[in-house]
Amino acid sequence: MQASLARKASSVLLDFKRLDYPDVDPPEWHKIVTIRKENDAVKVGELPMRYWLLPPYAPGYEENYRKHSEL
C-alpha cells in the first residue's frame, strides 16, 4: 500500500493506474520505489531501474546484488 501511495505516476509496465496521477510512465518515474519498516514508521526510498548493473560492480550477480542492496 505504501509503495503504491509513494508512486506518483501511472505505469503500463507495472499495470498500475492512479486516477490522481494519470501521466503514464513519465521519465522521472523510471525507478523502483522501495519501502522498509523502521521502528514503527514506514520509510520510502527509491532505486534506479536496473540498479544492480550500476557501479560498484562485483564479479558475480549475487555478490553484485548484495553490494547494491546494502546501499
| pLDDT tens column, 13-71 | 889 999 999 999 999 988 888 888 889 999 999 888 887 777 777 777 788 777 777 65
Model pLDDT for residues 21-35, shown as the tens digit of each residue: 999 999 998 888 888
Q: Which residue has the cell 490522481?
A: 20
SS (H, E, C) the chain: CHHHHHCCCEECCCCECECCECCECCHHHCEEEEEEEECCEEEEEEEECCHHHCCCCCCCHHHHHHHHHCC
Does residue 12 register a pLDDT over 60?
Answer: yes
pTM to 2 decimals? 0.62
